[in-house]
């Protein structure tokens, strides 16, 4: 016996408006996730929850920054490098941002070629995205080691407000962990694409139905989210 939706049980000629209409549509599954697979829907739900976590971190950082009575370190000085005798503020951060934003472009092209079932170009672009992501993490590790060598700790720093160290390591570390996880998944999916798992329907983790490259798009959703979060970190932590 088939279950009747709320719409089918509604008397003929009855039209709901406002929140009642939204509730009826969602409960009847007429609009919500109608064309989305479970994998894609679950990724969107995960990204939504992750948005709340990153949002909480950034709001906490802004609160600490505005409430402290001790002078906050100047990012242009803290994150500057001496190259060839020239003092270059934020040069490393600018390169890191360029690398990560560029990886978003290669990921978008990988998704495009994935839906064209171009196995070779999809795998190469995913590997290039992973390489850019690994480069970003490597530069972030250099940034961490430089600041640690200069005396920055989670409980203090030599340039001013003690909260600077804890905010820096927490926010950039949490984001760097996301990038690292993304690089690992990119390598796993790129290998499966290169072997033809999605063309042959070879059984295994993250393998979709034969001929479907949707997992590439799902991985892309995660990667674009990581890139977008970095834009907010860059604006609030390094430019403010």
Cα 8 to its chain centre, rounded Å, is: 41
Helix (H) or strand (E) holding 83: strand 81-83
Phi and psi torsions of 86, nearest 5° = -110, 140
Q: How large a percentage of the chain has pLDDT more than 70?
A: 79
**Burial (CB count within 10 angstroms: exposed 0-12, middle 13-18, buried 19+), residue 52:** exposed
pLDDT at 5: 47
Average pLDDT over residues 222-235: 95
Average pLDDT over residues 201-229: 78
R_g (Cα) of the chain, nearest Å:
23
pLDDT band at 6 (very low <50, low <70, confident <90, very high): very low
Q: Which CATH class is domain 44-238?
A: mainly alpha
In this structure, is the dihedral angle defined by the CA atoms of residues 222, 226, 232 and 235, taken in order, positive or negative? Answer: negative
In angstroms, the CA 150 to CA 144 distance is 10
Q: What is the pLDDT of residues 61-78, one digit of tens each?
A: 999 989 888 888 888 888
pLDDT at 81: 87
pTM of the model as a whole: 0.81
Contacts of 144 (CB under 8 A, 6+ apart): 169, 172
In angstroms, the CA 170 to CA 176 distance is 10
Contacts of 113 (CB under 8 A, 6+ apart): 121, 122, 125
**Burial (CB count within 10 angstroms: exposed 0-12, middle 13-18, buried 19+), residue 70:** exposed
Q: Specify the 3-state DSSP secondary structure of 3.
A: coil
pLDDT band at 7 (very low <50, low <70, confident <90, very high): very low
**Contact status, residue 210 vs residue 200, Cβ threshold 8 Å:** yes
Between the CA of residue 222 and those of 68, 96, 150, 164, what are the distances in Å? 34, 19, 34, 28
Greater confidence (87 vs 50) lies with 50
Q: Specify the 3-state DSSP secondary structure of 56.
A: helix
Helix (H) or strand (E) holding 87: strand 86-88
Q: What is the pLDDT of residues 127-181, one digit of tens each?
A: 999 999 999 999 999 999 999 998 888 887 888 888 888 999 999 999 999 999 9
In angstroms, the CA 130 to CA 113 distance is 16
Average pLDDT taken over every residue of the chain = 84
Q: What is the pLDDT of residues 100-129, one digit of tens each?
A: 999 999 999 999 998 888 889 999 999 999
**Contact status, residue 126 vs residue 117, Cβ threshold 8 Å:** no
Q: How many CB atoms lie within 10 A of CB 223?
A: 28
Give me the helices (H) in 70-90, please.
75-78
pLDDT tops 70 at residue 204:
no
In angstroms, the CA 82 to CA 151 distance is 18
């Amino acid at each position: 016996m088939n279950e009747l939706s709320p719409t089918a049980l509604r008397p003929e000629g009855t039209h709901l408006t406002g929140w009642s209409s939204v509730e009826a549509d969602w409960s009847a599954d007429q609009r919500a996730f109608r064309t989305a697979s479970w994998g894609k829907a679950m990724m969107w739900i995960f990204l939504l929850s992750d948005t709340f976590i990153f949002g909480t971190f950034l709001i906490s950082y802004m609160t600490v920054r505005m409430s402290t009575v001790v002078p906050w370190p100047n990012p242009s000085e803290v994150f500057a490098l001496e190259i060839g005798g020239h003092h270059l503020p934020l040069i490393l951060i600018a390169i890191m941002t360029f690398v990560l934003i560029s990886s978003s472009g290669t990921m978008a092209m990988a998704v495009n070629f994935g839906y064209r079932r171009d196995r070779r170009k999809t795998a190469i672009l995913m590997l290039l995205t992973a390489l850019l992501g690994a480069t970003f993490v490597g530069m972030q590790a250099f940034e961490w080691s430089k600041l640690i060598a200069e005396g920055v700790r989670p409980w203090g720093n030599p340039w001013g407000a003690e909260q600077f160290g804890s905010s820096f390591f927490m926010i950039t570390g949490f984001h760097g962990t996301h990038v690292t996880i993304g690089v690992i998944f990119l390598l796993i999916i790129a290998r499966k694409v290169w072997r033809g798992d999605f063309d042959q329907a070879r059984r295994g983790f993250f393998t979709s139905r034969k001929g479907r490259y949707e997992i590439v798009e799902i991985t892309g959703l995660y990667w674009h989210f990581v890139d977008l979060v970095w834009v907010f970190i860059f604006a609030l932590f390094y430019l403010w």
